Amino acid sequence: MVHEHDLSKVGTRAKPAGEQVAGDPDKAFQEAEVTSEGEYGIPVITHCCLEPHGQVVQWNGDKVEYWPSTQNVTQVGNDLAKLIEVPANQIHTHMDYMGGGFGSKFPPDLWGAEAAQLSKMSGGRPVKLFLDRATELTIAGNRPSVFAKVKTGAKKDGTITVWQSQTWATGGYTGGNLNVSLFPYVFNKLENKRLNHTAVSINAGSARAWRAPNHPQLSFVTCSALEDLAAKLNMDALAFFLKNIEITTRPQVYKAQLEKAAEMIEWKKYAHLRSDTTKGPVKRGLGIGVNTWGGLGHDSQCRVTIHPDGSVDVDLCSQDLGTATRTMIAMVAAETFGLTINQVKVGIGDTQFPPSGGSGGSTTIGGVTVSTRKATVNALGKLFDLLSPVMGVPADGLEAVDGRIQQKGNPSKSMTWQQACAKMGTQSISEMGQNKQAEAVKEGLINQGTSGVQMADVSVDTDTGIVKMNRMVAVQDCGLVVNPKTAESQVFGACIMSCCAALMEERIMDQQTGRVLNPDMEFYKLAGISDIGEIIVHMDITPEHDARGIIGLGEPPAVGGVAAISNAVANAIGVRVPMVPLTPNRVLAALSQRRIG
């Protein structure tokens, strides 16, 4: 069994999770003035990390030197130790850089243990073992599918009154769980709903966390069903979303974000009711997707050392997945000390440094910035204590500004950073800082809970079925933004991944052999520069968001894009393409069904 598309054919592989009911959905449907029913599907996709899973391992006496591609430098060596049955303190893990993980690179896996054993058997030679592309796409993790039958009801004025969904999913032989209590996604305060979900086990590689687990699927099903209901009401999709904004988790935030995204994509200029009626085969449409996420910073410890020559070391066992974690740590430290970034040396990716959590769930930025900030403030306080009698100023009356230590508000009473550090003699100042996730929100430096909106602008050739991305707009909040440019970069990457998932990505299984038919970069397609159109990002920076503190950003902007693109195609051609990716065959099939209907 390798296909889960038709729930009636999976037999004993189906494991129902039980029905969840809120309010009185039966009565709500009886009273609904308009109802809409639809079927939707989003397939299994793989992580397709450009750097596949693997590592270099060298057994050196009773010690093991371990260089994995991992999202979890602090813990992965401990997990390897269990597999190869050595004490955890005998494994030294290093990782300076990695080439993509997206949630799949936490454990050492059996290939890590095998590489270690090969090194031991060879007398301690270093062994490099990475998965080939076919193996990577077959067994190294995937994002589960979701298929859904949804019925919704509303008043004629567009007020949604009831939601009913039957969903099923697979992530491989372990089945496919889905947090259906989040339906309808973001618009979750709806009073009446009935939810059923079934996990389907198939003979295929198992799922691993994939950038915002469950949320892209939930957003796709919800936003597709809501835009279909809006079309049934003959109502503008943006007006429909705004009409129901009060049942979202953060009404005023989503309202402002929808209005901003509409302004950026020129909704008033290009929007139309479902089906572009202009002449010619190429039809244009707009669509909406929404997101939310937690993003509370993980546990993290940081050690900061100020040396007598003025150099500064900031060390913690975190990792940089290409998200500029190093830069953010350096920025926080430099700002605390009144220095430039190039005056701060950041050490990460080494278990000789203090432990810091794995990079998953958009938790890294909050964890490392808090531990870094606390450690630098503690170290600076010790330096102020040392300088206070020298400068004749109370320690709490000193500040570090623009490469100098000075009396607060009095630059004339100051010394350079190097002069100040020279007063330490031969001793360095070394201090620790820590973020404890359980206490973090109370301290006020970080928080959780983000909101965002994506809108897509597409053109569809109804003769060929080809979908062309014109523009994608993303409006996203993440609390206090440490660096707007790198934050925008995260959103750009998320939008590109959404284009891939909406238009191209799908794992294809062969029923006869049970094998993946497209385990390569030729037939498992990812978007190129000509496929993504123009991406426009607006970071939702306001004093109110800043006051909440730092919140993780990696996950949420990867959520709503697939929904937005699918809705834009439906808006363009006048009919729902029920399953993504929106390949030409599927687009033409949907158009054919509309003509037959």
Q: Is residue 135 part of a domain?
A: no
Last residue of one domain, picked from the residues 443, 462, 497: 443
Question: Of 426, 443, 460, which one is at a domain's C-terminal end?
Answer: 443
CA dist., res. 130 & res. 112, Å (int) = 9
Shared domain for 311 and 438, answered yes or no, is yes
Residue 242 phi/psi, 5-degree rounding, is -65, -35
Tell me whether residue 136 is in a domain. no
Q: Are residues 306 and 426 in the same domain?
A: yes
The answer to the question of residue 1 being in a domain is no
Query: Pick from 304, 329, 328, 327: which is nearest to 315 by CA?
Result: 304
**Are residues 588 and 492 located together in one domain of the fold?**
yes
Which residue in the block uniquely carries the two structure tokens 């000193």?
Answer: 398
In this structure, what DSSP letter does residue 338 have?
T
Beta bridge partners of 289: 454
* Pair (288, 305) in one structural domain: no
- Are 459 and 592 in a shared domain? yes
Structural contact between residues 519 and 133, judged by C-beta atoms closer than 8 angstroms: yes
In a domain, 232, yes or no: yes
Cα dist from 539 to 257, 332, 474, 565, whole Å: 10, 20, 8, 20
Tell me if the bond preceding 484 is cis, omega within 30° of 0: no
Is 254 contained in some domain? yes
Based on the fold, state whether residues 385 and 483 are members of the same structural domain. no
Q: Are 516 and 138 in contact (CB under 8 A)?
A: yes
- Do residues 94 and 209 share a domain? no
Closest residue by Cα to residue 460 from 261, 276, 597: 276
Alpha carbon distance 349, 95 (integer Å): 5
What is the pTM assigned to this prediction?
0.97
Residue finishing a domain among 63, 98, 130: 130
Q: CATH number of the domain that 403 lies in?
A: 3.30.365.10
Task: Give one DSSP letter per residue of 386-414, joined into a string.
Answer: HHHHHHTS-GGGEEEETTEEEETTEEEEE
Do 454 and 587 have their domain in common? yes
146 in the same domain as 16:
yes
Q: How many domains does the chain have?
A: 3
* 436 shares a domain with 332: yes
- Per DSSP bridges, beta strands 192-200 and 404-407 are unpaired
Whether 233 is in a domain gets the answer yes
Asked whether 532 and 496 are in contact (CB, 8 A), the reply is yes
CA atoms of 235 and 102, how far apart (whole Å): 37
Residue 481 structural domain: 7-46+142-294+447-596
pLDDT string in tens for the chain (597-residue length) = 999 999 999 999 999 999 999 999 999 999 999 999 999 999 999 999 999 999 999 999 999 999 999 999 999 999 999 999 999 999 999 999 999 999 999 999 999 999 999 999 999 999 999 999 999 999 999 999 999 999 999 999 999 999 999 999 999 998 999 999 999 999 999 999 999 999 999 999 999 999 999 999 999 999 999 999 999 999 999 999 999 999 999 999 999 999 999 999 999 999 999 988 889 999 999 999 999 999 999 999 999 999 999 999 999 999 999 999 999 999 999 999 999 999 999 999 999 999 999 999 999 999 999 999 999 999 999 999 999 999 999 999 999 999 999 999 999 999 999 999 999 999 999 999 999 999 999 999 999 999 999 999 999 999 999 999 999 999 999 999 999 999 999 999 999 999 999 999 999 999 999 999 999 999 999 999 999 999 999 999 999 999 999 999 999 999 999 999 999 999 999 999 999 999 999 999 999 987 765
Cα–Cα distance between 162 and 29 in angstroms, integer?
7
Residues 508 and 391 in one domain: no
> Is 217 domain-assigned?
yes
Spatial separation of the C-alpha atoms in residues 428 and 500, rounded to whole Å? 50
User: Do both 487 and 576 map to the same domain?
Assistant: yes
Q: Does residue 2 lie in a domain region? A: no
